[in-house]
Every structure is written in structure tokens, then in C-alpha cells.
A and B are shown apart, each in its own frame.
Chain A
Amino acid sequence: MSSAPRTATERTKLPYCHESFHNLQELRHSASLANKVFIQRDYTDGTVCKFQTKFPSELDSRIERTLFEDTVKMLNNYYAEAEKIGGQSYIEGCLACLTVYLVFLCIETRYDKVLKKISRYIQEQNEKVYAPRGLLITDPIERGMRVIEISVYEDRGSSGSSSGSSTTSSSGR
């Protein structure tokens, strides 16, 4: 993010990928962490794992609303699939009980399988969508399934204007 105020034409140039972020490796080597945005849990459907799809204002200039919402909705779908109470979970539960839960030494639970899918999805999203925009999503399981942490990076070359510029310029539209 340049320190000069962004012109109208620059703002319409979204997605923000004209800086030097091309992939995750470059992001890690040439960028410094500016800010972290936390997407909280949505408890309107009870205690199931679901995240709010409300678009945080700090990401206004960094990524399109639809891309962000698609990511969060996809994650919510994965978690709903993992926590679905139906035929498969009953069979798994009964089988586990009968084998005194030793069956879990041999097979993976459905939740674990879905968690792996989620991890792959987040990795793929980071590589394709978020890293080119200077963002990085952290898997919610690493934050106790409480938040989706999105790290906002600044290019080290332009960090002379300091870290607060991302938030000030995003709010000063």
C-alpha cells in the first residue's frame, strides 16, 4: 500500500495485486504483518461451528466482498457437514461404543476427515486468492475454533509510512 492517498482510479483497480505479492513464499519473505482481523463465530443457529459472513471494514480495500463471503460460506458448509447428526454419525457412534472406542485407533473420525478437507481448502484459498492480495487466513482450528484470523500484510518496502496506514486509508474512502 503506497503512502500517497489513493486516487479514484487506483481504488477501482481491485483486486489489489499490483504490488510484489505473487505467492505465499514472497509474502512471507518480503512482507511484514500490519494488522489482524478476526471473524467471530455466528451463534444464531446454536452451538454449531459457523462464522459470520459480515464483511469487515478493514478488508474493504484489500479484497472483494464476494470472494470473502464465498470463502466463509464454504468453510461454514464444511463445518456443517462435519457436525451433521445423521445416519453416518449414529453408525460411527454405535460402532465406537461397541468396540470401547478402540476403533478410533484404526479409522479416522468423520470430523477429522472434514478438518483435513478444510485445511486443504484454506491452503488453496491462501495461494490463489488471499496471498496475491497480501492477506493470509489462519485455520480456525489453530485458534480454538473461535475465530478466523486474517493477517493483513504490508510490503516491507513501503512500510516507511508505518502499519497504521492500511486501516487509516481503508476508513478514509
Chain B
Amino acid sequence: MKSELTLLTDPVFLVLLRMIHLLELQSVVLCAGPEAVNVTCEETYPHSSMDWFNQCSRMEKAQSFIVNILPDCFIVGCPYLAVHLSPAIPVFAVLLFVFVMAMLLRTSFSDPGVLPRALPEEANFIEMEIEAANGNVLAGQRPPPRIKNVQINNQIVKLKYCYTCKIFRPPRASHCSICDNCVDRFDHHCPWVGNCVGKRNYRYFYLFTLSLSLLTIYIFAFDIVHVALRSVDSGFVNTIKETPGTVLEVLVCFFTLWSVVGLTGFHTYLISLNQTTNEDIKGSWSGKNRVQNPYSHKNIIENCCEVLCGPTYPSVLDRRGVMLEDSTSPTPSDASAASTHKSSNPVSQTTKSSAPLIPNEHTPDEAKPSIGAGTQKSTSSPKEEKPPSPTSPNAVAPAVIKESAH
């Protein structure tokens, strides 16, 4: 009874309670808010409002766990530990908690490195190159798979063509079916965070798991210390009667610890080898007959430095752009960070596509609607149909499709 009364007047407890309420409000607002974002970026970042809501609600799971359960482990012990040991203990816990939440929010709401879809002219240009490289495919024959071979650090890496985004994916990029976007240096789609983890937000994700592990270990340790100190004073059985929550939460922390620390350990291993979760699962760089990882510096420290201390890449999405309903001039995607694009923007005008999109007979089913939409979009824009010169793509394409180090 005494501990509950002191709890209500405990300033740390009150601060935490306020933070919890603020965060809950924030997640509600964020879930309701971004419909505008989805509508305007439909072309380059299609993401239905339902998906955004799901993302927020999934992220809320992580939030609610961290925000509600973990601090509860500690709130009960705060006054006792502050008095008997040191007030620095709960203070450090609060700081660590703030860091964890900041990293979670940063991972969740930052662009993972989404590659916007190709605009019609670019898509047509790539189609022409592919057609030229493939030559004449006999009717009824399956066209060859759309793959480019690139030599990186004396290893041959295959670049695959994404039928949804209509681009050749850069190395290490992958298409996320949940977000329906190609993501650069795709690691995985994290349902707890509600977002893909890619080039731009991997370090925040790693710091989130690392700080969460530290927080869990810290709370677990000091909960045990709290129970031990109370037991010394009033016996173990009495301690359990006085603070049943603490003992229960020690158990919760114990089980949480394994999963979170395990995940952090796994990602530390991946970082030291400069691999992504996606590559590890697919076994891209393992096995005798497989290519060795061409991105690794063969030095753990260098790998860690590159992943964690590398430059902060800009986002190439235009989250605030307005999509024009007439398809004559699709909005180019600007960097949301850089505000320097105005002077070099090409004037919007009628675009002329030099060739209609060539539907691939064996296009996967999911790509068919997007190709249909693509041709619809290009036919609706006023243009002059001009077949390209047959000689120039041939001159360009073979050298482009099969690159090798010069």
C-alpha cells in the first residue's frame, strides 16, 4: 500500500505516464493523417491508405510493448532504487527509453530508400534497349529473362528487371511486396516497425534493437536488484506480496531478452560481414559455387564503419508533390531534403514516347495490370508516334546490357 502511494507522487512515474499518453495520441494522429500523402504519391510511391493505417497499427504493437510493459517493470522499483541506491538509476533508464523511442519512430517514419518507379520515357527507353539486346524473338518462343550482368570487384552480379517499377534494380535492391516498392539495399520488411528496413534507415533500426536490448537488460538487472534488496529487508515471500508486479515483470523481461538480444546479435553479425538479411536468407554469398560478397571490405571494422557511420543518403521521394490528374506531364520526384531542384527542372510539356511498351508474353501476373496502366497512361498523353531509328539502339544497347570493367 505504501509503495503505491509513493508511486503516485513519484515524478519519474508521472513523466513516464505523460509520455505514454503523448505517444498514444501521436500514433492516432499519424494514422489518420497521411491519406494526402498516399494520394499524391500514387505514381511513384503507391501505398494505399489502408496500408499506412496497418503500418501505424503494427508500429503501435512495438510502441505499446515498449511504452507500456517495459517502463511498468521499472516504475514500481523507481522510488525504492532511487532512495536506496542512487537517483541516477531511473534517470539513465529514462534517457535510454527516450533513445529507444526516438530510434523506433525514426526507423518507422523515415524513407527506407525507396526507388521511385520509372517515368514513361525512361521505361520506354529501357524497353527499347531490352528489345534491341534480345534481337528477334520468334513467335511462340519465350523471350529471354530480363537480366543485366555487371562486374563489381571482379564478381559477376546479376541485375534483375522489376516489372512493377519498370527499372533494372540496382545491386542489393529488392522489391518489397508489402510496400509495393523497390527499396535500395533492402534488408527486410519489419512488421513491428511497420516499415521496410533499407539503406537509409538500417542504422536507426540497428540502434533501435541495440538500445532496446540494453534497456531490457538494464531493467531486468535492476528489477532483480530491487527484489533482492527488498528481500534482504523483509524476506522474499513478503517482497512478492508487496510487489507482485516486479516479479512478474522480471519473467517478462527474461523472455523478451532472448528475442531482442538475439536479433541484435544477428544484425551485428550481418553488419560485420556487410550483408543484408535478404542476402543471408537467399544465401547469395554463401556456398562454394556462389559468388563471394563483392561489397565486403574483408575487415570487420571497415564494414561496421561503412554501414553505421556512412553518409546520410537523401530521400528521392517527393512526399509532398501533387500528382496531376492529366497524364501529360508526370511530376518528377524531388529530394524532400534538398530544396535546390527548381532551377534545373525541365519545363513540363507534351512528352513524346518513341515506342509503345512492348508487352512481354511471359510477364508475371502482377506486372500485367501495371503494364496495362502504363500503356494507358502513355496513350492518353498527346504525342506523335515515331518509331525510333533502328540503328541507334543497336549501337547503344549491346554495350550497355553487358557491362564489364574496362
Contacts and interface: CB of A to CB of B under 8 A. Distances in A.
B170 A141 contact: no
B333 interface: yes
Nearest to B349: A33
B43 interface: no
- Most chain B C-beta atoms within 10 Å of own C-beta, residue among A32, A82, A84, A139: A139
Contacts of B151: 44
Interface stretch (A5-13, A67-75, A105-113): A105-113
Given A138-B344, A143-B122, A112 B311 contact: no
Interface residues of A, number: 66
B341 A141 contact: yes
A89 B115 contact: no
A168 B389 contact: yes
A110 to B, nearest CB: 6
Given A82-B311, A85-B306, A141-B316, A38 B122 contact: yes
Contact of B314 (A38, A47, A115): A115
A47 to B, nearest CB: 6
A142 B170 contact: no
A100 B99 contact: yes
Tier of interface size on chain B: 35 or more
Interface stretch (B16-24, B78-86, B396-404): B396-404
B392 interface: yes
Contacts, number: 177
A32 B351 CA distance: 9
Interface in A126-173: 126, 136-139, 141-147, 149, 151, 162-164, 167-168, 170-171
B340 A115 contact: yes
Contact of B389 (A52, A83, A122, A164): A164
A116 B333 contact: no
A89 B150 contact: no
B333 A142 contact: yes
Contacts of B152: 43-46
Contact of B352 (A34, A40, A137, A147): A34
A47 B106 contact: no
B171 interface: yes
A111 B185 CA distance: 18
Nearest to B388: A167
Nearest to A38: B125
- Most chain B C-beta atoms within 10 Å of own C-beta, residue among A43, A119, A141, A144: A144
A142 B189 CA distance: 26
Interface string A76-117: 000000111100011011101100110010000111100110
Nearest to B403: A44
Nearest to B347: A28
Interface in B172-194: 172, 184-185
B136 interface: no
Given A32-B349, A110-B312, A143-B122, 5 more contacts: A54-B399, A138-B344, A145-B316, A149-B122, A164-B388
6 contacts: A116-B340, A123-B344, A138-B344, A142-B334, A146-B118, A149-B122
Interface of B: 98-99, 102-103, 106, 115-116, 118-119, 121-122, 125-126, 150-153, 157, 159, 167, 170-172, 184-185, 203-204, 207, 294-295, 305-306, 308-314, 316, 332-335, 337-338, 340-341, 343-347, 349-352, 354, 384, 386-389, 391-392, 395-396, 399-400, 403-406
Give the top 3 A-B pairs by smallest Cβ distance, nearest first.
A119-B340, A93-B309, A164-B386
